Copies of this chain bind each other. A is one copy, B any other.
Amino acid sequence: MGSQKWAYEDLTAGTSISLGSKLVTAEEVIEFASEFDFQPMHLDEEAGNASILGGLSASGWHTCCMFMRMLCDGFLLDSTSQGSPGIEYAKWKKPVLAGDVLTGQCTVVDKRTSSSRAGLGFVKIRSELYNQRGEQVFELENTAMFLTREAAR
Protein backbone atom coordinates (compact mmCIF):
# COMPACT_ATOMS: atom_id res chain seq x y z
CA MET A 1 0.00 0.00 0.00
CA GLY A 2 1.28 3.55 0.59
CA SER A 3 0.98 4.60 -3.05
CA GLN A 4 -2.78 5.12 -2.97
CA LYS A 5 -4.15 8.50 -3.83
CA TRP A 6 -6.60 8.72 -0.92
CA ALA A 7 -5.47 8.13 2.66
CA TYR A 8 -7.12 9.38 5.86
CA GLU A 9 -5.19 12.68 5.74
CA ASP A 10 -6.43 13.46 2.24
CA LEU A 11 -10.09 13.28 3.18
CA THR A 12 -11.36 16.44 4.83
CA ALA A 13 -14.82 17.95 5.21
CA GLY A 14 -15.90 19.20 1.81
CA THR A 15 -13.62 16.91 -0.22
CA SER A 16 -15.79 15.82 -3.17
CA ILE A 17 -15.07 12.95 -5.55
CA SER A 18 -16.96 12.41 -8.81
CA LEU A 19 -17.95 8.88 -9.67
CA GLY A 20 -18.27 7.61 -13.23
CA SER A 21 -21.51 6.75 -14.99
CA LYS A 22 -23.45 3.50 -15.09
CA LEU A 23 -26.13 2.34 -17.55
CA VAL A 24 -28.77 0.27 -15.76
CA THR A 25 -29.79 -2.59 -18.05
CA ALA A 26 -33.02 -4.61 -17.83
CA GLU A 27 -30.92 -7.79 -17.78
CA GLU A 28 -28.99 -6.66 -14.71
CA VAL A 29 -32.14 -5.50 -12.93
CA ILE A 30 -33.79 -8.88 -13.46
CA GLU A 31 -30.64 -10.88 -12.67
CA PHE A 32 -30.10 -9.08 -9.39
CA ALA A 33 -33.76 -9.37 -8.41
CA SER A 34 -33.81 -13.08 -9.27
CA GLU A 35 -31.05 -13.66 -6.77
CA PHE A 36 -31.80 -11.23 -3.95
CA ASP A 37 -35.16 -9.45 -4.23
CA PHE A 38 -37.69 -11.23 -6.38
CA GLN A 39 -40.62 -8.90 -5.96
CA PRO A 40 -42.62 -8.63 -9.21
CA MET A 41 -41.82 -4.95 -9.93
CA HIS A 42 -38.12 -5.82 -10.12
CA LEU A 43 -38.59 -8.87 -12.35
CA ASP A 44 -41.15 -7.97 -14.97
CA GLU A 45 -41.88 -4.84 -17.00
CA GLU A 46 -45.67 -5.20 -16.82
CA ALA A 47 -45.64 -5.70 -13.07
CA GLY A 48 -43.30 -2.71 -12.80
CA ASN A 49 -45.65 -0.54 -14.86
CA ALA A 50 -48.55 -1.58 -12.64
CA SER A 51 -46.64 -0.78 -9.43
CA ILE A 52 -46.15 2.64 -7.83
CA LEU A 53 -42.61 2.57 -9.27
CA GLY A 54 -43.92 3.01 -12.82
CA GLY A 55 -41.63 0.65 -14.74
CA LEU A 56 -39.16 -2.20 -14.48
CA SER A 57 -37.28 -0.83 -11.52
CA ALA A 58 -34.06 -1.86 -9.84
CA SER A 59 -34.31 -3.22 -6.33
CA GLY A 60 -33.24 -0.54 -3.89
CA TRP A 61 -30.50 -2.92 -2.78
CA HIS A 62 -29.37 -3.21 -6.38
CA THR A 63 -29.05 0.57 -6.50
CA CYS A 64 -26.89 0.33 -3.36
CA CYS A 65 -24.72 -2.29 -5.04
CA MET A 66 -24.38 -0.37 -8.31
CA PHE A 67 -23.39 2.63 -6.23
CA MET A 68 -20.80 0.54 -4.37
CA ARG A 69 -19.29 -0.58 -7.66
CA MET A 70 -19.09 3.04 -8.83
CA LEU A 71 -17.49 3.97 -5.50
CA CYS A 72 -14.91 1.18 -5.85
CA ASP A 73 -14.04 2.20 -9.39
CA GLY A 74 -13.92 5.92 -8.70
CA PHE A 75 -12.51 6.09 -5.21
CA LEU A 76 -12.13 3.17 -2.81
CA LEU A 77 -9.75 0.99 -4.81
CA ASP A 78 -7.33 3.91 -4.92
CA SER A 79 -7.59 4.49 -1.18
CA THR A 80 -6.51 3.01 2.15
CA SER A 81 -10.12 1.90 2.86
CA GLN A 82 -10.58 -0.64 5.65
CA GLY A 83 -14.32 -1.15 5.21
CA SER A 84 -17.22 0.37 7.09
CA PRO A 85 -19.12 -0.28 10.33
CA GLY A 86 -22.45 0.66 8.80
CA ILE A 87 -24.84 3.06 7.12
CA GLU A 88 -26.16 6.21 8.77
CA TYR A 89 -29.08 6.32 6.34
CA ALA A 90 -29.98 5.58 2.72
CA LYS A 91 -32.83 7.13 0.73
CA TRP A 92 -34.26 5.65 -2.44
CA LYS A 93 -35.64 8.99 -3.59
CA LYS A 94 -36.96 8.06 -7.03
CA PRO A 95 -37.30 4.78 -8.91
CA VAL A 96 -34.22 3.60 -10.83
CA LEU A 97 -35.59 2.17 -14.06
CA ALA A 98 -34.04 -0.07 -16.69
CA GLY A 99 -32.40 2.22 -19.26
CA ASP A 100 -31.47 4.92 -16.76
CA VAL A 101 -27.90 6.21 -16.69
CA LEU A 102 -26.60 6.95 -13.20
CA THR A 103 -23.89 9.40 -12.27
CA GLY A 104 -22.83 10.41 -8.80
CA GLN A 105 -20.48 11.91 -6.33
CA CYS A 106 -19.43 11.53 -2.74
CA THR A 107 -18.51 14.27 -0.33
CA VAL A 108 -16.71 14.06 3.01
CA VAL A 109 -18.93 15.36 5.82
CA ASP A 110 -16.79 14.74 8.89
CA LYS A 111 -13.79 12.74 10.17
CA ARG A 112 -12.14 11.59 13.38
CA THR A 113 -9.23 9.36 14.31
CA SER A 114 -9.89 6.09 16.11
CA SER A 115 -9.32 6.28 19.86
CA SER A 116 -8.50 2.58 20.10
CA ARG A 117 -6.47 1.91 16.96
CA ALA A 118 -3.50 4.05 15.94
CA GLY A 119 -3.29 4.91 12.27
CA LEU A 120 -7.00 4.38 11.62
CA GLY A 121 -9.65 7.02 11.10
CA PHE A 122 -13.39 7.21 10.55
CA VAL A 123 -14.66 9.32 7.66
CA LYS A 124 -18.36 10.16 7.29
CA ILE A 125 -19.29 10.43 3.63
CA ARG A 126 -22.49 11.60 1.92
CA SER A 127 -23.05 10.09 -1.52
CA GLU A 128 -25.59 10.90 -4.21
CA LEU A 129 -26.70 9.32 -7.47
CA TYR A 130 -28.55 11.14 -10.24
CA ASN A 131 -30.31 9.87 -13.35
CA GLN A 132 -29.96 11.18 -16.91
CA ARG A 133 -32.62 13.84 -16.23
CA GLY A 134 -30.60 15.23 -13.34
CA GLU A 135 -33.05 13.88 -10.76
CA GLN A 136 -31.52 12.65 -7.52
CA VAL A 137 -32.46 8.99 -7.15
CA PHE A 138 -30.29 7.92 -4.20
CA GLU A 139 -28.66 9.44 -1.16
CA LEU A 140 -26.47 7.64 1.33
CA GLU A 141 -24.55 8.69 4.39
CA ASN A 142 -22.13 6.26 5.89
CA THR A 143 -18.90 6.04 7.80
CA ALA A 144 -15.87 4.36 6.30
CA MET A 145 -12.51 3.54 7.88
CA PHE A 146 -9.23 4.58 6.28
CA LEU A 147 -5.61 4.09 7.28
CA THR A 148 -3.29 7.05 7.56
CA ARG A 149 -0.56 7.25 4.94
CA GLU A 150 1.97 6.26 7.59
CA ALA A 151 -0.02 3.21 8.77
CA ALA A 152 -0.56 2.06 5.18
CA ARG A 153 3.15 2.06 4.34
A5 to chain B, nearest CB (A): 15
- Residue from the list B39, B65, B82 in contact with A72, Cβ < 8 A: B39
A59 at the interface (CB under 8 A from B): yes
* Cross-chain contact A91 with B83 (CB below 8 angstroms): no
Given contacts A61-B65, A64-B64, A88-B89, whether A83 and B39 have CB atoms under 8 Å apart is: yes
Task: Classify chain A's interface size.
Answer: 20 to 34
Q: With a 10 A CB-CB cut-off, give which of A37, A83, A145 has the most chain B CB atoms.
A: A83
- Residue from the list B61, B72, B88 in contact with A68, Cβ < 8 A: B61
- Residue from the list B35, B60, B64 in contact with A83, Cβ < 8 A: B60
- Residue from the list B61, B64, B82, B88 in contact with A51, Cβ < 8 A: B82
Give the interface of A toward B (CB within 8 A): 35-39, 41, 51-53, 59-61, 64-66, 68-69, 72, 76-77, 81-93, 145
Residues of B within 8 A of A59 (CB): 68
In the complex, the 6 A-B pairs of residues with the closest C-beta atoms, listed nearest first? A86-B91, A87-B90, A36-B65, A36-B69, A37-B68, A61-B68
A24 to chain B, nearest CB (A): 14
* Cross-chain contact B37 with A69 (CB below 8 angstroms): yes
* Cross-chain contact B84 with A60 (CB below 8 angstroms): yes
